[in-house]
Structure 1
Amino acid sequence: MPFAAGYYLSYLFRTINTLISGPLSAELGLDAANLGLLTAVYFLVLAGAQIPIGVLLDRFGPRRVQSVLLVVAAGGAALFAASTGLLELLIARAMIGIGVAAALMAGLKAIVTWFPRERVALINGYMIMLGALGAVTATAPAEWLMGYSGWRGLFELSAAATLAAALLIFLAVPDKAQLVLPQRTSLKLGAIYRDPRFWRIAPLSASCIGSAWSLQGLWAAPWLADVEGFNREALIAQLFLMAIAVCLGALLLGTIADRLRRRGIGTETLFAAVVALFVIAELALIMRLPLPSLLPWIVVSIVSAATVLSFAIIAEYFPSELAARANGSLNVLHFGWAFVVQYGTGLILEQWTPQDGHYPAIAYQVAFAVSVAVQIVALAWFVVPWLRSLDWRAPASFLRALANDNVPVETVTASTEIRMFEPHESGEW
């Protein structure tokens, strides 16, 4: 619960720019590219901090690292509230990014340390569900608060809450995690990046989860306003429902993964299915299919919680004493791609001239299509090894038999080996 409080604030800071983008741009004169850069610098700093923080978490434990960094985030929030120009806002946003860089990994480190591996996906879902309430707060509740205090007062309140969370973690969390820290292992950080299993899932996880973070964290609101024509009230209502979907999605994905695992179905299979659904939802937005816009955006929101699955998969690949480093190695790619998509979308939109303050639909369609193309390539990379492992003799012989009744049909016997992924541990399969 204390780590969920830290992750709650991380989610709040990640998605709050969606709400304040309008007032912030109006007051400080920010265009789409500057707004994209301001929001994306958060992800850039997070990406750069993941591996060092992973090492610190494995060395000193989540309690000390998380509590110290949240103090930095509190200072960044206070500076953001007092900023009067783009440079000050960028520095403050970077401080916030550094301060919450361990928010997710600290909780995951604690979970891997204190819970059995077969329950990691479920417990991840619980923590991410609670943390994602920060995205809920960044919609209607924050809009209500801004009506009284403005966006500056909102960040002053966030600074105080972040400092309180730092004290809560430092005082309430035990040091049990320190029991595993002295263990030595021959597995180094370089070995994580050389592991073929890591590179099978990493491009897919990064391109999809990073894109979902970028869309929900900033570009969902401009799309709804410029393309769908939503007014402020309708926009806030849909963002609120999307945020609720993140919470429920985290719990749903964790629960489904836990139950499928008991039936012998790996988390990788569920993750691939979720990604395929994500690509379909994005294509529905790009092609403007006659669907309620809430439906594809709900899928986008659920995918932003799919770290429940990818981190559970990574936890199976590496020993628990290196869990933070392994998660950090994957998170570098998550946040790095989120930065590329968030800033790149702003640059692409700038290639079109706004009409009455709104960018045309084609600008968003082009920007979103670039991300989808990368995701499709990553999905193919993920599933090709599985397709190659299938025995295609039965379908081929069946087709030959249809053409010639005299040709015997080859059958797939029970001894035929069909695998989707390599075994994670020597005795698992």
Structure 2
Amino acid sequence: MTSTPASAPRLLAPLGGRRAWAIWTAAVAVYVLAVFHRTSLGVAGIMAAERFGISSSQLATFAMVQLLVYAAMQVPVGAALDQYGSRILLAAGALTMTAGQAAFAFAHTFAAGLGARVLVGMGDAMIFVCVLRIAALWFPPMRAPLVTQITGFAGQIGALLAAGPLAAALHSVGWETTYLVAAGLGIVLGLVMWFVVVDSPNLDEERDAVRLRAVTRALGEVWREPGTKLGLWSHFTSQFAMNVFVLLWGFPFLTKGQGLSEATASTLLSLMVATIIVASPMLGMFTARRPHRRSVAVMVLIGAAITLWTVVLVWPGRAPLWLLVLLCIVVALGGPGSMVGFDMARSFNAPTRLGSANGIVNVGGYVASVTCIVGIGIVLDHVAPGGPATYDVDSFRAAMSVQYLVWAFGLAMMWHYRRRTHDVVLTDDAYTHLRAGVPRKRRERD
């Protein structure tokens, strides 16, 4: 009889088994709700401008504050995740989002609406990194890239619900009822998650009471890894164009700028979600098999987005529908592309620091999104001072050009840290670990 090695971990359930999928599904359900709350303003932007009587810059401020809070909380949330685990933070996030959406339902002033979006951003910030940690701990290392991509596209079901049912509900049952029902879903899913989710399969795992000094040291170790920074800048550069389009400016761009009906615009936003669902597992399988080509794949997707936006913006007058369809498909690919950033960070950090690493990476895309969303709002206020009623194709041609500044900066940083990470991979046994899908072992510093 073969004895079990002393070093073998004692597991609550097999990695990647039915128990793992049940826990992951419960956590992902909360993530779907988070994406729904996050993108709910995208289809309600013009209605919100009328409800609150605000300008383009003020409308952009709603999204800016929500994303800024999200980004600012990623590092502390990552540190808290490593200490307290996914279950507690998922519950806290669900309750906070519920409070935010309920407050937004009754808000009638710009200040009240802004406070509600702060709560939504705070709750949203706690969700995604928790689900990623569950995927990393409950599934074998070689399957982690694929499960990470599946997590990303599963969450986009929330965007699909916002693009279709939410838009219809706003016109049929009104603002307050729509947002109150959306808030109530958080209570239901939060209860389901609480009774199903288990933080880790490892029965021998010791939960250290992490002190502030230890947290700071851990964050420093994670930040010093070039792979973490490459993941951050990959996320920064590939995700923001999709966020800008889905979270706020895509719907006005398609309806006011390109003259499409609201139904057609909603269909194109749904097409973006479908693209993410189809492309995510394909990209996940590619990165699992070709980990040394991950940054190249991300750069190719970014280049495609830049190319399509350039064609649309230089097109004389309004772009034809077939070109807008291509634009939405290519821009949507930035979502799966940004998920590769988390896989990069996973390859270079220990499992006990995944929360901190994912939190750092997740800051990237949302900082870029905030910057671009606000920049577009400022330009729109300048070229179309009359507000949404005066938006046209030329005003959006000027405003959407803000994206090129963000792309240029992000690509430069990606290239820099790609070279740094390449140097690390060529040292020690890092390449072997990368091929095996497990974090490399760091050399102890003197």
**Residue of structure 2 equivalent to 1:335:** 366
Q: Deviations over 1:308-339 (max 9, x none)?
A: 21111111011111001011012122222211
Change over 3 Å in CA distance of 1:358–1:294 after alignment to 2: farther
Q: For residue 242 of structure 2, give the secondary structure of its aligned residue in structure 1.
A: helix
Query: How many angstroms does 1:381 deviate by?
Result: 4.1
Check if 1:311 corresponds to 2:342. Answer: yes
Check if 1:29 corresponds to 2:53. Answer: yes
Query: How many angstroms does 1:385 deviate by?
Result: 7.5
Q: For residue 30 of structure 1, give the secondary structure of its aligned residue in structure 2.
A: coil
Counterpart-to-counterpart distance in 1, 2:395 and 2:201: 49
Counterparts of residues 28-427 of structure 1 (less than 5 Å): 28-176=52-200, 179-180=204-205, 182=207, 188-261=218-291, 265-288=292-315, 292-353=323-384, 357-383=389-415, 422-423=425-426, 426-427=429-430
**Residue of structure 1 equivalent to 2:21:** none
Between stretches 294-303 and 202-211, larger displacement belongs to 202-211
Residue type matched to 1:221 in 2? Answer: F
Cα pair 2:272 2:329 within 8 Å, conserved: yes
Query: How many angstroms does 1:350 deviate by?
Result: 0.5
Query: How many angstroms does 1:4 deviate by?
Result: 0.9
Counterpart-to-counterpart distance in 1, 2:343 and 2:83: 21
Residue type matched to 1:358 in 2? Answer: T
Query: How many angstroms does 1:49 deviate by?
Result: 1.0
When normalised by structure 1's length, the TM-score is 0.85
Change over 3 Å in CA distance of 1:425–1:102 after alignment to 2: farther
Counterpart-to-counterpart distance in 1, 2:96 and 2:420: 49
Q: Percent identity?
A: 21
Counterpart-to-counterpart distance in 1, 2:428 and 2:66: 36
Cα pair 2:232 2:360 within 8 Å, conserved: no
Counterpart-to-counterpart distance in 2, 1:380 and 1:153: 46
Counterpart-to-counterpart distance in 1, 2:205 and 2:236: 29
Cα pair 1:4 1:128 within 8 Å, conserved: no
Cα pair 1:279 1:376 within 8 Å, conserved: no
Q: For residue 100 of structure 1, give the secondary structure of its aligned residue in structure 2.
A: helix
Residue type matched to 2:371 in 1? Answer: V
Q: Deviations over 1:358-390 (max 9, x none)?
A: 32434323333232233134324434677899x
Cα pair 1:209 1:334 within 8 Å, conserved: yes
Over alpha carbons, which structure has the higher Rg? Answer: 1
Query: How many angstroms does 1:220 deviate by?
Result: 0.6
Change over 3 Å in CA distance of 1:181–1:332 after alignment to 2: farther
Change over 3 Å in CA distance of 1:181–1:358 after alignment to 2: farther
Counterpart-to-counterpart distance in 1, 2:417 and 2:168: 50
Between stretches 165-174 and 176-185, larger displacement belongs to 176-185
Residue type matched to 2:384 in 1? Answer: T
Change over 3 Å in CA distance of 1:55–1:181 after alignment to 2: farther
Structure 2 segments unaligned to the other structure (5+ residues): 1-24, 433-446
**Residue of structure 1 equivalent to 2:15:** none
Residue type matched to 2:380 in 1? Answer: L
Change over 3 Å in CA distance of 1:386–1:204 after alignment to 2: closer
Q: For residue 383 of structure 2, give the secondary structure of its aligned residue in structure 1.
A: coil
Query: How many angstroms does 1:286 deviate by?
Result: 2.4
Counterpart-to-counterpart distance in 2, 1:387 and 1:182: 36
Cα pair 2:425 2:431 within 8 Å, conserved: no
Change over 3 Å in CA distance of 1:197–1:360 after alignment to 2: same
Cα pair 2:64 2:373 within 8 Å, conserved: yes
**Residue of structure 1 equivalent to 2:5:** none
Number of aligned residues: 397
Q: For residue 382 of structure 2, give the secondary structure of its aligned residue in structure 1.
A: coil
Q: Deviations over 1:185-232 (max 9, x none)?
A: 896212333333333443342133123212221111111122211122
**Residue of structure 1 equivalent to 2:435:** none
Residue type matched to 1:94 in 2? Answer: V
Counterpart-to-counterpart distance in 1, 2:417 and 2:88: 41
Cα pair 1:281 1:297 within 8 Å, conserved: no
Residue type matched to 1:74 in 2? Answer: T
Structure 1 segments unaligned to the other structure (5+ residues): 390-418
Change over 3 Å in CA distance of 1:367–1:201 after alignment to 2: farther
Cα pair 1:125 1:250 within 8 Å, conserved: yes
Cα pair 1:207 1:374 within 8 Å, conserved: yes
Cα pair 2:368 2:406 within 8 Å, conserved: no
Q: Deviations over 1:29-59 (max 9, x none)?
A: 1221111101221101101111111111111
Between stretches 91-100 and 185-194, larger displacement belongs to 185-194
